[in-house]
Amino acid sequence: MLIVTGAGGVSFCAGADLKAIDTFAPRLMSEEGPFGFTRLTPSKPTIAAIEGWCLAGGLELALWCDLRIASASSTLGFPERRWGVPLVDGGTQRLPRIVGLGRALDLILTGRMVEAREAQAIGLITEIHGRPLDRALEYAEALASFPQETMLADRRAALAAHGLPLDEGLAYEAQAGPATLAVAARGAARFAGGEGRGGAGAGV
């Protein structure tokens, strides 16, 4: 598991230094993206623990993560719109996939910033918590306790097949079946032996 958070627990990330915009060009053309990795898909679940400002490239970094846990005082958005700075680190592609095209266009076109409650209501953040990093660690520990082969296969299918026609997505999902049958059989045997009955151990 990977957790991304801001240093000191004050702000997640307020984006790039616009005073240094002349240094952006070489990184814009890289396959990895301006941050050096955000045009790549991580191989493991990623969680953003957000406090304070999560703006511009910082929001694009949070969108790169699978889950986003934020404090109630967090603010998210793309304020660079007002200065004519484009979204270049995945924001135009990931935000619509997370909140839907209509809500994404609202944030992308207007550059308005949203507080944590609204961000949760539209699906931009997963959960509001008083201590986002502690909660992210709880999530990570729970995810690490699950059988990894099937969890990672399901994650790959959800990410890779998103946007495909349903029949193609179902076919992609089915490809993982044979590779995970042994793990599934062991898990089913544990359940049959009494483990997890009544919902014990379910959820995070």
Residue 67 pairs in a beta bridge with: 47
- The angle formed by the CA atoms of residues 121, 127 and 130, to the nearest 5 degrees, is 120
- For residue 85, what is the DSSP state? P
- Give me the amino acid identity at 167: D
Rounded alpha-carbon distances, angstroms, from residue 139 to 3, 156, 164: 10, 19, 29
Count how many Cα atoms sit within 13 Å of the Cα of residue 145 in the half-sphere of its side chain. Answer: 10
Bridge pairing between strands 46-50 and 2-5: parallel
Instruction: Decide if 60 is catalytic.
Output: yes
Which of these is catalytic: 51, 80, 118, 168? 80
Return the structure tokens found at 176. Answer: 């993982």
- What 3-state class would DSSP assign to 138? helix
Which of these is catalytic: 60, 118, 127, 149? 60
Catalytic residues: 60, 80
